[in-house]
């Protein structure tokens, strides 16, 4: 039972209930005050919300009551009827459990004789929570049905802001193409289908179309994933035809999705760690210089002193007849010899050590007279010119000096030409070679390969070398250049 010193009375009425018998503000106050007098309870305050719906908790007096409850200004809350506190089971449960009981405040509803200080009242809270959960599920279901109906009717899913490239017309409930942003969207799709990575697209778009917040990887990826750009809406992983104008064709969108999947699969295969690492330094890169089959490790019997020889030899030195095994050189016998493991590996390590100790060796590796560079300055001038033309084109459209169709036509022409030039510039053979050269320099900055352990040596060797071709006369290293 309640033993109380201070009672907070809460009364509420909505405009539609104002005249109902027993529900007026004054009648609620009278009955609750009389009850307190009978119980000899002290009234701390009467909180009154006149003309407010009980469907939510956004009511001035209720909000003040919650603040005072958290200060523990009273020890009991009294209402005339449960629905005066709230018409939502979910909100009622929140107020009783998370506001009142949490602050050691009892709750009493006069009409239902609901008293949280009694065993029956506590049991009723559990029942109330069941109905509150049911109410939440019903609300969720109604919202989903409403959104599904909107998606099926082709209307935009506007519980969030419009996708970049569109403005939302609230009166007509439709998406309108933002022509300036649409240029950026088309360029993102174009660059991706040209083979550029999302990271490089992000950097390029940040340079050419800076905005706040800046372009991030996930924003670019989100644009490439979003079917809204080809005229569709998405809801619960289902695609529905939209009523809005597409920015790109459905064909371009589908090609992009296919390319995204291909790159994801390739990345997964490339970056997945192998289940095991090769035990020997040249496993996988040592190659016979006669028949080009891989070299494998062979071991001799253990000698009396505990040692044994370990050699690399050609796979085809002893052709295999077992069905299903991998063969090389039409499974013909190779007459190459076997090569001492320590001799081959020492030679490779010495060659890498030379590169580490004398950078002129690196320059010699990359001195290919056949590598021709493009005229980068000329290309850059053309790119800058096209960028300025695009900016002027946008200004002309804003000033109504060209039509929308002219803007689209010229924008596509300039953007396509510029993207082609940028790709050529990016793939400049001389620059690519310089990048590889710089990569090799960075790798070679590691500790002297002759001073590190065998496991570290293996990593460095594999990072620098594609193949080590071996014959009786020579060892030829094919560097990653």
Token pair, residue 285, equals: 């890169």
Burial of 36 per CB tally in 10 Å (0-12, 13-18, 19+):
middle
Q: H helices within 272-297, ranges in order?
A: none
Q: Identify the domain boundary among 384, 407, 427.
A: 427
Q: Does 407 share its domain with 439?
A: no
The confidence score (pLDDT) of residue 275 equals 41
Report pLDDT for 81.
82
Instruction: Report d(CA 116, CA 347) in Å as an integer.
Output: 86
Same domain, 364 and 416: no
> Residue 473: what are its φ and ψ, rounded to 5°?
-95, -25
Instruction: Confirm if 7 and 41 have CB atoms less than 8 A apart.
Output: yes
Is the residue at 156 inside a domain?
no
- 344 class by beta-carbon count within 10 Å (0-12 exposed, 13-18 middle, 19+ buried): buried
Last residue of a domain, one of 139, 158, 180: 139
| Residue 3: predicted pLDDT | 59
CATH number of the domain that residue 117 is part of? 3.40.50.1390
Catalytic residue among 14, 53, 117, 283: 14
CB 156 within 8 A of CB 229: no
Asked if residue 148 is part of any domain, the answer here is no
pLDDT (0 to 100) of residue 91: 82
pLDDT at 68: 96
Tokens 């620098």, residue located = 464
Q: Report the candidate in 197, 179, 302 with the shortest Cα–Cα distance to residue 247.
A: 179
Residues of the chain with pLDDT under 50: 17, 19-21, 129, 132, 146, 154, 268-276
Question: Which of 271, 299, 315 is the last residue in one of the domains?
Answer: 271
Active site residue 346: no
What is the domain range of residue 313?
286-370+433-479
151 in a structural domain: no
Look at residue 330 and tell me if it is in a domain: yes
The CATH number linked to 232 is: 3.90.1750.20
Helix/strand/coil for 332: coil
Task: Determine contact, residues 332/353, Cβ cutoff 8 Å.
Answer: no
Tell me the longest C-alpha to C-alpha distance in the chain: 114
**Domain count of the chain?**
4
Question: pLDDT value at position 110?
Answer: 85
Same-domain pairing of 264 and 316: no
Question: According to the model, what pLDDT value does residue 455 have?
Answer: 85
Check if the beta carbon of residue 239 is closer than 8 Å to that of residue 232.
yes
**Distance between CA 394 and CA 303 in Å, rounded?**
82
Q: Are residues 34 and 108 in the same domain?
A: yes
Torsion, Cα of 156, 161, 167, 169 (10° steps): 60
Note whether 73 and 88 are same-domain residues: yes
Q: What is the pLDDT of residues 232-260, one digit of tens each?
A: 887 666 777 888 899 999 999 999 999 88
Residues 332 and 449 occupy one common structural domain: yes
pTM of the model: 0.36
Residues 134 and 197 in one domain: no
Tokens of residue 418, six digits = 């510029």
Is position 56 within any domain?
yes
Residues in the chain: 481
- Whether 356 is covered by a domain: the verdict is yes
SS3 assignment, position 408: helix
Q: At what angle do helices 179-193 and 198-208 cross, to 10 degrees?
A: 150
């Amino acid at each position: 039972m309640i033993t109380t010193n201070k009672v907070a009375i809460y009364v509420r009425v909505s405009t539609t209930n104002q005249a109902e018998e027993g529900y007026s503000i004054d009648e609620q106050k009278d009955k609750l005050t009389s009850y307190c007098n009978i119980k000899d309870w002290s009234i701390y305050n009467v909180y009154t919300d006149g003309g407010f719906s009980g469907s939510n908790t956004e009511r001035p007096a209720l909000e003040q009551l919650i603040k005072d409850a958290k200060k523990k200004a009273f020890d009991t809350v009294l209402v005339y009827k449960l629905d005066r506190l709230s018409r939502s089971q979910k909100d009622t449960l929140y107020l009783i459990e998370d506001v009142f009981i949490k602050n050691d405040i009892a709750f009493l509803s006069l009409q239902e004789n609901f008293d949280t200080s009694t065993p029956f009242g506590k049991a009723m809270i559990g029942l109330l929570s069941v109905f509150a959960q049911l109410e939440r599920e019903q609300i969720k279901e109604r919202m989903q049905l409403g959104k599904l109906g909107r998606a099926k009717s082709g209307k935009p899913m506007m519980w969030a802001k419009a996708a970049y490239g569109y403005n939302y017309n609230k009166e007509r409930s439709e998406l309108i193409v933002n022509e300036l942003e649409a240029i950026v969207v088309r360029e993102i799709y174009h660059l991706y289908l040209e083979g550029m990575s999302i990271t490089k697209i992000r950097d390029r778009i940040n340079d050419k179309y800076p905005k706040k917040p800046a372009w991030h990887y996930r924003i670019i990826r989100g644009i490439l994933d979003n079917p809204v750009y080809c005229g569709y809406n998405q809801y619960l992983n289902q695609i529905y035809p939209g009523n809005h104008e597409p920015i790109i064709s459905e064909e371009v969108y589908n090609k992009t999705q296919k390319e995204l999947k291909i790159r994801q699969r390739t990345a997964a295969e490339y970056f997945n760690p192998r289940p095991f690492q090769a035990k020997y330094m040249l496993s996988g890169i040592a190659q016979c210089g006669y028949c080009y089959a891989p070299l494998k490790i062979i071991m001799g019997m253990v000698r009396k002193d505990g040692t044994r020889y370990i050699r690399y030899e050609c796979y085809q030195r002893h052709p295999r007849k077992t069905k299903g095994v991998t063969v090389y050189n039409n499974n013909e016998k190779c007459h190459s010899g076997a090569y001492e493991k320590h001799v081959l590996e020492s030679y490779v390590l010495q060659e890498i050590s030379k590169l580490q100790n004398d950078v002129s060796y690196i320059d010699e590796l990359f001195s290919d007279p056949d590598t021709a560079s493009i005229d980068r300055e000329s290309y850059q001038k053309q790119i800058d010119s096209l960028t300025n033309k695009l900016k002027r084109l946008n200004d002309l459209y804003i000033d109504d000096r060209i039509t929308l169709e002219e803007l689209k036509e010229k924008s596509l022409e300039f953007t396509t030409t510029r993207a082609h030039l940028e790709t050529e510039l990016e793939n400049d053979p001389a620059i690519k070679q310089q990048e590889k050269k710089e990569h090799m320099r960075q790798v070679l900055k590691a500790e002297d390969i002759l001073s590190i352990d065998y496991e570290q040596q293996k990593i460095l060797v594999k990072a620098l070398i594609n193949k080590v071709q071996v014959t009786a006369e020579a060892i030829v290293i094919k560097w990653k250049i």
